[in-house]
Structure 1
Amino acid sequence: MRNTARWAATLGLTATAVCGPLMGAALATPAAPASLYAPSALVLTAGHGESAATVTPERAVTLTCAPKASGTHPVAADACAELRGADGDFDALKSKDGVLCTKQYDPVVVTVEGVWQGKRVSYERTFGNECVKNSYGASVFAF
């Protein structure tokens, strides 16, 4: 009886020593995702000219909208709210009401590159002048 108890104790301790670390790994929770939000990070540029292919950007800002608005964009929170309202569609952005701009033609090209809610974004638009650019999309292109 003594040998049986000794063998049972030895076998139990050996099993605990060998299988214990394996059980701890099996019971550990899976790695949490890095973020619960799809990435939304954009680089917006602006420069004078007809198209992005012929224009050197004069200004550039970054805009991150998830999990919170940040970046070098001067009104990041407002710009992110407008983009969320338009579901990330830059063509769906509306101009501000009541803004009067001259009809002087001094084209300004705006480009947007990056990721919006996990999807690749590449956008380019030419505005008639700086005033029109700043009124369009209220906050998004006002930089």
Structure 2
Amino acid sequence: MRYISGAVALGAALVLGTLATTAQAATAPAQPVRSGGLYAPTELVLTVGQGESRATATVERAVTLSCMPRATGSHPNPRAACAQLRSVSGDFTEVTGAVTERLCTKEWDPVVVTADGVWQGHRVSYTYTFANSCTMNGGQGSVFRF
């Protein structure tokens, strides 16, 4: 049986402790999103695709949208999109469920819209399927108009 000196044992314990801490950090649940600025972060990726669900849709268009501290991103009208989201407190069901007077055919040619990211510090993962592009463009405003 070999004798391990106190210094070697201490060094081994430190290495093993560091490895255990690293493993715990890697498997720890995600922490809430934090911002270094005065505003809660708002960073979204919005998509429009053809298909019946998020899993099966073919994404045709995608944009980014950031609303804090000012409206930016690749969205063609970030100010209007951010203003619409602020008016409904970031509730995407209010955006996609807007009532319209537009007349559309009853054809089933589904269009899926998604929103993923962070809205005012809260994680967002939203999906909605419209019956067709006419119903999508009817009353939903500017958030998914790109």
- Alignment TM-score, normalising by the size of structure 2: 0.70
Alignment correspondent of 2:102? 99
Partner residue of 2:57 out of 47, 55, 58: 55
- Structure 2 alignment gaps of length 5 or more: 1-34
- Structure-to-structure mapping, 1:17-96, within 5 angstroms: 34-93=36-95, 94-95=97-98
Deviations 1:108-133 (A, max 9, x none): 01111000000000000000111211
Query: How far apart are the structure 2 equivalents of 1:37 and 1:121?
Result: 17
Distance 1:108 1:120 in 2: 23
2:143 aligned partner: 140
Corresponding letter in the other structure for 2:110: P
Compute the RMSD of aligned alpha carbons: 1.6
Q: Runs of 5+ in structure 1 lacking a partner?
A: 1-32
Identical aligned residues as a percent: 57
Q: Does the C-alpha gap of structure 1 residues 136 and 123 become closer, same or farther in structure 2, counting only changes over 3 Å?
A: farther
Describe the SS at the equivalent of 1:120: strand
Q: TM-score, normalised by structure 1?
A: 0.71
- Paired residues, number: 111
8 A contact 1:96–1:138 mirrored in 2: no
- Letter matched to residue 41 of structure 2: P
SS of residue paired to 1:105? coil
Change (3 A) 1:136 1:122: farther
Query: What is the one-letter code of the residue matched to 1:104?
Result: E
Counterpart AA for 1:87: S
Contact 2:100 2:139 in 1 (8 A): no
Equivalent residues in 2 for 1:116-127, closer than 5 Å: 116-127=119-130
What secondary structure, in the 3-state scheme, does the structure 1 residue paired with 2:59 have?
A: coil
